[in-house]
Structure 1
Amino acid sequence: MASSAALTTTHLPRLRAGLEEWRKKQSLHAEFATPLSEITNRANGGGQRKQQGKDVVVAFRTRPPLENEAETKFAAAETQDAKTAEGAEEQADTPQSAFCAGITVKSAEPGEFVAHVPGMKAPQWSGPTLAHKTFVSDLAFGPDVDNEEVYQRAVITDDLLTLALSGGIACILAYGQTGAGKTYTMEALEHRIARDLFSVAKTIGRQMRESEKRGAASEADQVASDTNSEEEIFEFSATFLELLGKRAVDLLEPADGLPVDAQGNPIRKEVPIQEDKSGDVRPRLISTVFRSSEELEGLITAALAHRRTSATARNAASSRSHAILTVRIKNKLLPYAEEGQLILADLAGSERYEDSKAHDKQRMDESRENNKSLMNLKECVRAKARMANEDGFVHIPWRMSKLTVLLKPIFDPESRQASRTLIIAHVSPHIQDSTHSVNTLSYAAPFKTSPPKPRGPAPYDPTDPRTWNTEQTREWLTAEFTKRARAREAAARKVAEKSAARRGKTPPPAELDGPVRLAVDVERLCQEGMTALHFGRMYTTEFVQRCMEVANMGGEVTPDVVRNAAAIVFGMMTYLTMTAKTRTRNDIIKSRKRLALDEVYGGISRARKIAKANLAIPASPVLQIYTDDEIAQVAESMGSRWAETINEAVAKGETRWVDAWDAEVAAINGMMESWRAANKG
């Protein structure tokens, strides 16, 4: 049984002796495989960077103990418990406030932390015990590793800046107990990223310019390419959001004139967090364009000054909320490519009841909301880890909290952007916090087994705009605007026929298959590189305006005609996108049900066995006997309809209280009979 922090403090001498005895038997490797100077040279362009090829990198970090920290955090509770604790006589030999390490770095790379968890012997409670629990990660930073080395080994080595500048998503999460050093690490990383972002952008921009010159078609193209500097290739913008439970606010919103709460924090306007129709999550925040490292540094400093902090039992300036800095990077050479993102999330500190029981109501509520969102993040982590070991669909509940909705790019299995996530789990160095350290390390370790995200374009589906490339988008737009033109012709023809009938004349025959004049120039509307996803992110008015700019005005094509046609076409595209998303989710649910049925009933293979054994099934249709080749032939010829027919039959059977096995047998039997009847002769 784990002991409390106060009880642990009373038994420090015996625990320290047990820890020393354990360490003498261990082989510790606290050195990293690559010297720091070599990583720094790579970052400055002095060599090929290391590519780990992982989507998720896990790092552990513990800080050194602060001066007099043990006295201020544990002495009061120790004094209270010392009156009743056994073994009080041995406390006189050792200062009660002496530090005892609760974490040992067994290996730096790959990372390995050992948490030393004190407990009590049962059932006589004769004295303290010490359990040693090991946790594995990619990197492990001990108390002697400074912020610059953490940045070089975790951010630079894994090319997070290069990934974001290349149109990918780079995410850094700092997690851990209140007072474990999360904000200290994250602020240091944010300022170092601001320091290096433009230098890395300049290097990548130079490489892109050089490749552009080599592929230039003419000398004029080369001259035009030389007119722009490398820095002008990228456009940078930043948002800074604070999330407390379900309430999100903009940290870049000016605080002047805002009301304040009981603790003096400004009460800011709540920002809604939700998906748009294309599946993106982009809260309405103040997006600030910055053009230098100094400007980004100023934004970070201003936003952090507005972040909610309060004094707690564990930390005099505890962060009471999640702070998420998002840097978006647009490549002007590829205007329709996905924007790169750099997401830096300093998560609120997790707290035990023992740490927050003396707080006021507001801070208790804050702790409760923070722990709730962190628990949901943990469920998402576990679900993502299970995907590595299960072939079937695994549901990731990222829609269950605002925090995980904001981190959708990490968890969404349908995401097509390359992404990489660095999670740094912070733990306290004190043995009194070992129990919480174990929870933190258990929380972060499953990230290491996360599988790669899907890569490459999605398979083409004519009914799903999310899968269309530029040519397929143009084909669909041309067909839709052609339908609108044909409808206009048909309406004009009806008017002409009625007018001719009133005059007693016969109108000339219409050319039903002749060329039509489209309301817009589709090739100018959908330029090279654009897809239906880019249109899906627009509002209706924006799409209509784009159509007006490339309209084929003249004759019967008036501005009203263009606006009406554009609105109808955009509505059709939005409908197809929403229908495809719903259909995909329904198919996933059906596939999960099918997997469960196969596990319980054995699927088609069991149907064949029962049919061949000629077993009688009560209340079930009589199974015909078919060969394996016949069943395989029918299943292959029907494709997805084979499984759809079975799933539909099972679903209908459930609504009528029909046994699932009976419904499945009936469906298989019916399909095989139909096939045999069609192939008689």
Structure 2
Amino acid sequence: MEQFLLDSVPRYQSLVRAFKPPQSNKPTDTTNSSNITVATRIRPMLDDEISSGQVAGVFARKGGSGSVDIHELRKKVRGPPILNSFSFTVDKVFGPDQTTEMIYEDIVQPLVPWVCQGNVGTLFAYGQTGSGKTFTVSGLERLIATSLFDSHLEEKPEVHVCIFELAGNSAHDLLNARQSFSILEDSFGDTQLVGVQDIHVNSASELLQLIERASSFRHTASTEKNDGSSRSHAICRIRVKNPSPDSLDDGILYLVDLAGSEIARDVAAHTANRMKETREINISLSVLKDCIRERAALDAVVATEKSSSSSSSSSSSKRPYIPFRRSALTKVLKHLFDPADDSLSAKTVVLGCINPSFLDVAASKNTLRYAEMLRVVTPKRKQVEFDPNIPTTWTNKDIKNYIEAESGVPKISPAVLAPHESGLQLLRLPVAEFIHRCLQTDGVTDGQAKAFHSKLWDLHIRSQHSTTTTDSSKDSRKSQELWPDKFRSSRDVHPGAHLVPFKERIRPGMVVRWNPPADFALQFQSKHNLAVILCPQQAVGEGVRDFFGHEVGKNKEGQEDSANFQRYLCAIVLPGALADTYEVSLWRQVVIDADEMETEVLLQYDTSTRYYHTTI
């Protein structure tokens, strides 16, 4: 068959020149998964291939469309051979004239800072034997090692590396003379590599030496295309421990050199063990493909549910099943696929390597078909317009403006609380981390930080409720903007009131924190000590008594109180049933001296829980 193809090169080339690529039918309102980039590299023709009369049969389509055309010459029973052409689409296509450095800068380099920020990045290299896969991976490893230790951070990251291979269901440590180890799942659902050496490295050269040492232990076998074809999946796990005390997780970068994707006729030795080995490799690649594709499909479903969460109709999309426990490879990479594991953010790059020779178009089709199936096209989400009442529409600039204007006195530093987060990302920040960032600003108290967090979330909850109702006019929306401060909060409606000391503007409805006398504290076991001012003591009529039975306007001995102009009848504020909530007990009234008042506290009413909470 090869001789027939070599004899038909002139006809093959003329048919290829006459080929007109079909127009793309990709809808304009769709997009690809943002967490998975699928690319392919077409290596240059080698000198020995050219000297033997071979020509290219795989071409990157011009215009950067991500399309690849493959041409296959088919022999007919009668008449001249015909050309069968196939087109495949991926996210990125790198042609023979593009270097490994160009590939690194385009799709791999972004993984390095991503990992240094405590996230997970994974690079898969895939392709048939002789496609230049191992050459490409070696070059990318060198560039990654250089970038990791060429950081501009004041404190260099602490880097640990382990390298191992997976062949079927067996696992071997390539940095420990191929010692076997176990892949186990702990009680928290995390995958543990029990028995693997995790080595601390201090420089790029140390890391590259370990990678070179590991490659000498890798399992290879002879095929028709390569005397030393990789017959196992090699995984280099680089763990980056960030020196920043605010970093909770180590960043992890997985470099996965997948075993050569062969078909049965490519194996030179047709032994039972070799055939079994080939089946295991192809099965693991099939499981990996299913896992990557189903995970991308799951992300698409989740994104669709989030974008439609504001509509009245509930989403009934069936969530894809991800079979990550079917092979050792996907067990190790469980964090990429497990829908229950949302602790780490992951980005994945898949690089399919292609042999361009027209003698290998069958294997190239398999590689590109595999790569194309990893792409999940989803409906493009509509551009979200800014709405001052909906925090999830805020950019980083918008959330910083809100913090500057609404975080109270002293103002919480926007650069510390939200250095790069959008409104949606800040809402997703754990409460403890939110409070911790607020407290980095001098003078900010724990109470102020909690109150600001509650204020932001109250706005978010009300915005979610408002989007489920019919859209109102702009005028009614503007009137709603006044509702939180003017009608739901104890804040003084005068805009400059906060500039006046609170004791000089005491008014009915003001909430104060006060220091009660010792005998009062014994009866009310409350550490909050909040009260709502009702009126001055002298405004109360005769015979009115407080909670203790004392007549208002008289002291404990029943005599007229000469200092009643400094005293106020107040209602006690009690803790609510929910955490950090309060309720006003109007019938529990006490007289409080102005000297016992420590500060004003702003309370805001929550209609959903029917409790008050502190605000700023």
Question: What TM bracket, shorter-length normalisation?
Answer: 0.5 to 0.7
CA 1:319 to 1:441, structure 2 compared with 1: closer, same or farther past 3 Å? same
Tell me, yes or no, if the aligned pair for 2:292 and 2:374 is still in contact at 8 Å. Answer: yes
CA 1:132 to 1:239, structure 2 compared with 1: closer, same or farther past 3 Å? same
Q: Which residue of 2 aligns with 1:615?
A: none
Q: Return the letter of the residue paired with 1:281.
A: T
Are 1:280 and 2:190 an aligned pair? yes
Q: Which residue of 1 aligns with 2:18?
A: 21
Q: Please give the residue correspondences for 1:175-324 in structure 2 after superposition, counting only pairs within 5 Å.
A: 175-200=126-151, 203=152, 205-206=153-154, 230-231=155-156, 234-253=157-176, 255=177, 268-284=178-194, 285-324=196-235
In 2, Cα distance between equivalents of 1:441 and 1:346: 17
Tell me, yes or no, if the aligned pair for 2:159 and 2:200 is still in contact at 8 Å. Answer: yes
Are 1:64 and 2:17 an aligned pair? no
Answer with 1 or 2: which has the greater Rg. 2
Q: Please give the residue correspondences for 1:425-440 in structure 2 after superposition, counting only pairs within 5 Å.
A: 425-440=352-367
Please state whether the residue corresponding to 1:338 is helix, strand or coil.
Answer: coil
Q: Which residue of 2 aligns with 1:160?
A: 111
Report the identity percentage.
34
In 1, Cα distance between equivalents of 2:170 and 2:426: 35
Please state whether the residue corresponding to 2:185 is helix, strand or coil.
Answer: coil
CA 1:292 to 1:356, structure 2 compared with 1: closer, same or farther past 3 Å? same
**1:470: Cα distance to partner?**
8.5
Tell me, yes or no, if the aligned pair for 2:289 and 2:374 is still in contact at 8 Å. Answer: no
Q: Return the letter of the residue paired with 1:17.
A: S
**1:129: Cα distance to partner?**
1.9
Tell me, yes or no, if the aligned pair for 1:237 and 1:290 is still in contact at 8 Å. Answer: yes
Please state whether the residue corresponding to 1:399 is helix, strand or coil.
Answer: helix
Tell me, yes or no, if the aligned pair for 1:312 and 1:359 is still in contact at 8 Å. Answer: no
In 2, Cα distance between equivalents of 1:193 and 1:246: 29
RMSD: 3.1
Q: Please give the residue correspondences for 1:591-630 in structure 2 after superposition, counting only pairs within 5 Å.
A: none
Q: Return the letter of the residue paired with 2:191.
A: V
Deviations 1:550-593 (A, max 9, x none): xxxxxxxxxxxxxxxxxxxxxxxxxxxxxxxxxxxxxxxxxxxx
In 1, Cα distance between equivalents of 2:4 and 2:296: 36
In 1, Cα distance between equivalents of 2:432 and 2:286: 39
Deviations 1:461-508 (A, max 9, x none): xxxxxx997999xxxxxxxxxxxxxxxxxxxxxxxxxxxxxxxxxxxx
In 1, Cα distance between equivalents of 2:149 and 2:100: 20
Are 1:117 and 2:114 an aligned pair? no
Q: Which residue of 2 aligns with 1:555?
A: none
Tell me, yes or no, if the aligned pair for 1:27 and 1:106 is still in contact at 8 Å. Answer: no
In 2, Cα distance between equivalents of 1:457 and 1:368: 48
CA 1:421 to 1:458, structure 2 compared with 1: closer, same or farther past 3 Å? farther
Decide which moves more: 419-428 or 8-17.
Answer: 8-17
In 1, Cα distance between equivalents of 2:59 and 2:434: 58
**1:281: Cα distance to partner?**
1.4
CA 1:405 to 1:107, structure 2 compared with 1: closer, same or farther past 3 Å? farther
**1:16: Cα distance to partner?**
2.1
Structure with greater proportional helix content: 1
Tell me, yes or no, if the aligned pair for 1:388 and 1:450 is still in contact at 8 Å. Answer: no
**1:184: Cα distance to partner?**
0.7
In 2, Cα distance between equivalents of 1:468 and 1:409: 24
TM-score (norm 1): 0.50
In 2, Cα distance between equivalents of 1:192 and 1:459: 34
Structure with greater proportional strand content: 2
Please state whether the residue corresponding to 1:131 is helix, strand or coil.
Answer: strand
In 1, Cα distance between equivalents of 2:427 and 2:88: 37
Tell me, yes or no, if the aligned pair for 2:222 and 2:267 is still in contact at 8 Å. Answer: no
Please state whether the residue corresponding to 1:387 is helix, strand or coil.
Answer: helix
Are 1:403 and 2:334 an aligned pair? no
**1:410: Cα distance to partner?**
2.1
Tell me, yes or no, if the aligned pair for 1:109 and 1:138 is still in contact at 8 Å. Answer: no
Q: Return the letter of the residue paired with 2:187.
A: K
**1:359: Cα distance to partner?**
3.9
In 1, Cα distance between equivalents of 2:300 and 2:118: 29
Q: Which residue of 1 aligns with 2:124?
A: 173
In 1, Cα distance between equivalents of 2:68 and 2:234: 27
Q: Return the letter of the residue paired with 1:102.
A: G
Decide which moves more: 109-118 or 419-428.
Answer: 109-118
Q: Please give the residue correspondences for 1:551-566 in structure 2 after superposition, counting only pairs within 5 Å.
A: none
**1:55: Cα distance to partner?**
0.5
Decide which moves more: 62-71 or 304-313.
Answer: 62-71
Tell me, yes or no, if the aligned pair for 1:5 and 1:433 is still in contact at 8 Å. Answer: no
Please state whether the residue corresponding to 1:392 is helix, strand or coil.
Answer: coil
In 2, Cα distance between equivalents of 1:6 and 1:401: 40
Please state whether the residue corresponding to 1:186 is helix, strand or coil.
Answer: helix
Please state whether the residue corresponding to 2:40 is helix, strand or coil.
Answer: strand
Tell me, yes or no, if the aligned pair for 2:191 and 2:332 is still in contact at 8 Å. Answer: yes
Task: State the aligned residue count.
Answer: 367
Q: Return the letter of the residue paired with 1:237.
A: H
Tell me, yes or no, if the aligned pair for 1:176 and 1:425 is still in contact at 8 Å. Answer: yes
In 1, Cα distance between equivalents of 2:245 and 2:188: 20
CA 1:400 to 1:458, structure 2 compared with 1: closer, same or farther past 3 Å? farther
Q: Which residue of 2 aligns with 1:505?
A: none
In 1, Cα distance between equivalents of 2:426 and 2:333: 22
Q: Which residue of 2 aligns with 1:12?
A: 9
TM-score (norm 2): 0.55
Tell me, yes or no, if the aligned pair for 2:36 and 2:296 is still in contact at 8 Å. Answer: no
